Chain A
Amino acid sequence: MAERVFMKGCEAIAEAGVRAGCRFFAGYPITPQNEIPEYFARRMPEVGGVFVQGESEVASVNMLYGAAATGTPAMSSSSSCGISLYSEGVSYCASARLPVVYVNVQRGGPGIGAIQPAQQDYLQATKASGNGGFRMIVLAPATVQECVDMVYEAFELAQRDNNPVLVLTDGVIGTMMEPVVLPPMKTDEDIKAMKAKFADKACTGHEPCKQHFCFPGSVGTGQEIANKEAEKMYATWDKDVRVEKYLTDDAEIIFAAYGISARISRAVVKQLRAEGIKAGMIRPITVSPFPYEAFSSLDFNQVKGILDVEMSIPAQMRWDIDHAVQGRCPINECRRSGGQLLTNEQVLEGARQLIKEVL
């Protein structure tokens, strides 16, 4: 078994990017994700990659767009209000079908919000990360190990679809340290092969009149054709839906939570089980595409209530849960916001209230 090392979430994210073949990183300082650009600044020279501190988030994401247009595996990261400024560039990447990976280490919001952790960008991340109605695969890690695995996988997904992939985490997971097993380092040959796969689109200079275009839009009817093609690609994502069902088989109370909230919910589920209460948890691992089926296929004769646990006020994932459940059982919310952390005690209290109401 590979050796486990003790790493901070943000640094593990960066190392996973390097190992996945990322050779261009641009980003702008914003708490709580500064360790990601700082790590790349140290690490890129060792692997012959490029690190640029952009003059803004807007510039950084557009640098990413340029780097990806050359076929270079490229990545960026920011946090919440910084991610809002990524909207332009990410939309351009989606339109031009460029494979980029970016990470949102969420903090409090809206506005400048708070530098402390939160989960307040769910709807932005999963529904509209920019203008134009494009979609992305959004992965939501709950441990530092999952951060590593998902960043690594994000590069594969981005390159498979030629589409941006977002890793949606938060300031707790970005700041905490945990043991991780790191994936293998992609070799220079692997990276050459990645670039070769994109060679028929890459804009690096070609013979006159055999030029390549990186075109985030179109004239006439071209845009509709491009949008229909993108829609076909989105339709293949059913196979990419990932969800963890924890002790749900006989559960009467279901926790619904992703990322940091799911960690806490899991601990509370265990505690309730020890008391003989049939609790379980559904944890979306891909929040886009969302695992609607996991909720819609529940046996509502057995399931008496759902507790949506989020670090967001108002709740946001609630929209997707509602969409799947269609009013077939009561849904309560257990929330904190603006950088206030959920604690085991608070989630337990939320669960007890639900139990009192429905069991």
Chain B
Amino acid sequence: MAEKKVYEKTLGVMPDVISGFCPGCMHGTVHKLVGEVVQELGMLDKLVRVEGVGCCGLGQQFVSHDVIIAAHGRACAVATGVKRCSPESLVYTYQGDGDLASIGLDETVSAANRGENFTVIFINNGIYGMTGGQMAPTTLIGMKATTAPFGRKVEEHGYPMHVCELLSQLKTPQFLVRTAVDTPQNVIKTRKYIKQAFQNQIDGKGFSLVEVVTSCPTNWGYTAKEALTFLREKMFEEFPLGVYRDKDKEEA
């Protein structure tokens, strides 16, 4: 019987390297999607990843394209330098919530407001993963963290920060979307969003950010399956999925 190829691994990740992400973590899926869409766009040889600090740093040995490691929080500033000097490159930052929304909030907001023509992939799992479960700006009320052992309290820590909503107050950004990869349908949707975010860059449309709400079973203290439930019941409630800005649609 003749074999029929139904799936081929993207060339955007190394052929023989295992990602190193924890079981139940969704970073791997997002990496795959980035590789796939950029391969479809025929731009893998132009792709430059500006990598944040945290679990996203585990991706550096896993992807097959150029990687610039940024200091914690500075990915959007570094990407500004890269894209301005090398406009023919396809540049994206890959950052977690601590990196993008806490230490790097200034760099993120300012790059978005200048309309820098690169793509931001933002992984929001509500916790610091790499450093061991400390509270993030996106940690939910009541959720325990190693630096909030009694749970996040409004009176002490304030409410979780909503990055897409925050950035949608700016006039400049081209595309802001919050999505997830917890089901096949959501993976397909996210794939479409990531592709649009890169296409926007190719078309010179400016700042595009794809926020992916993901789970962190390890630091949430759940099994992978429990984490999925928490993601759907609690995280999506706090962080509603949807398109927060799409200038193409607004203009049309």
Interface residues, chain A, with chain B CB atoms under 8 Å away: 23-24, 26, 50, 52, 54-56, 58-60, 62-70, 72, 74, 88-89, 92, 96, 203-209, 211-217
Contact of A62 among B43, B44, B47, B77 (CB under 8 A): B77
Q: With A23-B85, A59-B110 given, is the CB distance from A206 to B69 under 8 Å?
A: no
Q: With A211-B65, A212-B66 given, is the CB distance from A67 to B81 under 8 Å?
A: yes
List residues of chain A with CB within 8 A of the CB of B50: 66
Query: Judging by beta carbons under 8 Å apart, are B71 and A70 in contact?
Result: no
Query: Judging by beta carbons under 8 Å apart, are A72 and B85 in contact?
Result: yes
Query: Judging by beta carbons under 8 Å apart, are A69 and B68 in contact?
Result: yes
By Cβ-Cβ distance, the 5 closest A-B pairs, closest first, are A66-B81, A55-B110, A67-B81, A66-B78, A205-B46
Query: Judging by beta carbons under 8 Å apart, are B45 and A206 in contact?
Result: yes
In the bound complex, CA of A210 to CA of B54 (Å): 25
- B55-84 interface with A by 8 A CB criterion: 60, 63-71, 74, 77-82, 84
- Nearest CB in chain B: distance from A50 CB, A: 5
Q: Give how many B residues have a beta carbon under 8 Å from the other chain's beta carbons.
A: 37
Q: With A204-B48, A214-B69 given, is the CB distance from A59 to B11 under 8 Å?
A: no
- Nearest CB in chain B: distance from A237 CB, A: 26
Closest chain B residue to A216, Cβ basis: B69
Query: Judging by beta carbons under 8 Å apart, are B46 and A63 in contact?
Result: no
Interface residues, chain B, with chain A CB atoms under 8 Å away: 11-12, 14-15, 43-48, 50, 60, 63-71, 74, 77-82, 84-86, 88-90, 106-107, 110
Query: Judging by beta carbons under 8 Å apart, are A208 and B66 in contact?
Result: no
Query: Judging by beta carbons under 8 Å apart, are A205 and B66 in contact?
Result: yes
- Nearest CB in chain A: distance from B32 CB, A: 14
Query: Judging by beta carbons under 8 Å apart, are A205 and B107 in contact?
Result: no
- Nearest CB in chain B: distance from A277 CB, A: 53
Query: Judging by beta carbons under 8 Å apart, are A26 and B81 in contact?
Result: yes
Query: Judging by beta carbons under 8 Å apart, are B82 and A209 in contact?
Result: no
Contact of B67 among A54, A64, A213 (CB under 8 A): A213
In the bound complex, CA of A209 to CA of B77 (Å): 26
In the bound complex, CA of A26 to CA of B65 (Å): 26
Query: Judging by beta carbons under 8 Å apart, are A62 and B74 in contact?
Result: yes
In the bound complex, CA of A26 to CA of B110 (Å): 14
Q: With A59-B74, A207-B45 given, is the CB distance from A65 to B81 under 8 Å?
A: yes
Closest chain A residue to B82, Cβ basis: A66
List residues of chain B with CB within 8 A of the CB of A215: 60, 67, 69
List residues of chain A with CB within 8 A of the CB of B44: 207-208
List residues of chain A with CB within 8 A of the CB of B89: 70, 204-205
List residues of chain B with CB within 8 A of the CB of A60: 77
In the bound complex, CA of A214 to CA of B88 (Å): 18
Query: Judging by beta carbons under 8 Å apart, are A74 and B81 in contact?
Result: yes
Query: Judging by beta carbons under 8 Å apart, are B81 and A69 in contact?
Result: yes
Sample of 4 more A-B contacts, CB < 8 Å, known A23-B85, A63-B77, A67-B85? A62-B107, A66-B77, A204-B48, A214-B68
In the bound complex, CA of A68 to CA of B78 (Å): 10
